[in-house]
């Protein structure tokens, strides 16, 4: 069930980012759309318009020229998702998905909702950590104190990076930054002065968002908000007796995409399905695991308790718009990575 929540920002996405959840939480939400381009459209512009990461959009539109798709080209908008496993509170960032979910505390008498945004994550040698932390500081128009490692990287390219970058258009943190309570003090959720790269593995470990997205998140969260950083390329949900599967390209310890290991994916799928009786269409499941498109698909059905003779389905179950129904809360594979107490200011933190 889509909760329409339009914004008046100039760069406002045409697709709402707030979705209503049932009282017991979880499920599949959103929808896959198909649009036709105008002559002046690019995939970078469309990604931002629909609050998608660039790679998230290009992955499901293979063969389309990202800079000049042309007038009237059909584009798939992957706006349907399965909620990440684990707790339905605070912020959850799924690194392999390059996406952030925020579960606001419901107001009295109001339904629970989720907000979701694409994020950039750490590039090679700049790993975004996995674990549990909190927001320990928030700043508008932050200054940036680059770590020495980042300054050396700039110097290797023949560029000089000042020791302190003041607020303004040259500041890569953008206009909003939230520091995470990870001991180094250098990990942030922040905006950007280069929105074209949102949704890629390009940062020095931080989580980078579109300027309009981070402004919404900044206003919605407070210091102390919990943040779970997970790496779960395979997500599953049960919806009205159907088994839904969503698969993203796995990433390695350096945050880089790697080829799926189908055997490991199958084992993870078995773990997610658990001991309950299900009829899985394994051709569909394996195809989804290999493709790793990020679009949820129906791959099977729950077997009713009074039908022990049920067999694996021969064809794909029907798909279409659905109501959100509960999904089992799966454990977050995250371990503590911080003390929630604010640390002494260090290079890389906001001031």
Q: Is the dihedral of CA 255, 92, 323, 268 positive or negative?
A: positive
60 within 8 A of 248, measured Cβ to Cβ: no
Closest CA to 349 of 204, 158, 218, 213: 204
Catalytic residue among 98, 176, 206, 248: 206
Q: Is the dihedral of CA 96, 97, 98, 101 positive or negative?
A: negative
In the annotation, is 281 catalytic?
Answer: no
227 within 8 A of 90, measured Cβ to Cβ: yes
Catalytic residue among 98, 176, 190, 281: 190
All residues at 6 or more sequence positions from 40 whose CB lies less than 8 Å from its CB, including other chains: none
Angle between helices 282-291 and 262-273 (to 10 degrees): 120
Q: Which residues pair with 74 in a beta bridge?
A: 36
In the annotation, is 190 catalytic?
Answer: yes
Q: Which residues pair with 19 in a beta bridge?
A: 2, 114
What are the catalytic residues? 190, 206
């Amino acid at each position: 069930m889509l909760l329409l929540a339009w914004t008046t920002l100039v760069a406002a996405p045409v697709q709402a980012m707030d979705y209503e959840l049932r009282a017991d939480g979880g499920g599949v939400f959103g929808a896959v759309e198909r649009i036709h381009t105008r002559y002046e459209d690019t995939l970078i512009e469309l990604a931002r318009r629909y609050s998608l990461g660039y790679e998230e959009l290009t992955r499901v539109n293979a063969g389309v020229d990202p800079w000049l798709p042309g007038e009237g080209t059909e584009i798939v908008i992957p706006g349907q998702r399965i909620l990440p496993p684990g707790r339905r509170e605070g912020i959850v960032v799924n690194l392999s998905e390059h996406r952030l979910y925020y579960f606001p505390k419901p107001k009295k008498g109001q339904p629970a909702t989720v907000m979701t945004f694409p994020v950039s994550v750490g590039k090679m040698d700049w790993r975004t950590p996995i674990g549990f932390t909190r927001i320990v500081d928030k700043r508008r128009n932050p200054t940036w104190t680059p770590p020495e490692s980042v300054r050396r990287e700039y110097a290797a390219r023949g560029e000089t990076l000042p020791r302190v970058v003041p607020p303004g258009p040259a500041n890569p943190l953008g206009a909003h930054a939230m520091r995470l309570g990870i001991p180094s003090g250098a990990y942030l959720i922040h905006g950007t002065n280069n929105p074209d790269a949102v949704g890629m593995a390009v940062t020095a470990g931080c989580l980078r968002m579109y300027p309009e997205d981070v402004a919404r998140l900044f206003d919605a969260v407070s210091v102390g908000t919990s943040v779970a950083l997970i790496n779960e390329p395979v997500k599953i949900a049960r919806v009205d007796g159907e088994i839904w599967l969503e698969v993203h390209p796995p990433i390695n310890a350096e945050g880089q995409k790697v080829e799926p290991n189908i055997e490991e994916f199958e084992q993870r799928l078995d773990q997610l399905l658990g001991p309950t009786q299900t009829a899985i269409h394994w051709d569909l499941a394996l195809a989804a695991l290999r493709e790793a498109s990020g679009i949820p698909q129906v791959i099977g059905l729950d077997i009713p308790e009074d039908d022990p003779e049920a067999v694996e389905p021969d064809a794909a179950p029907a798909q279409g718009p659905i109501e959100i129904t509960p999904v089992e809360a799966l454990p977050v594979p995250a371990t503590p990575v911080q003390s929630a107490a604010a640390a002494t200011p260090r290079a890389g933190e906001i001031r």
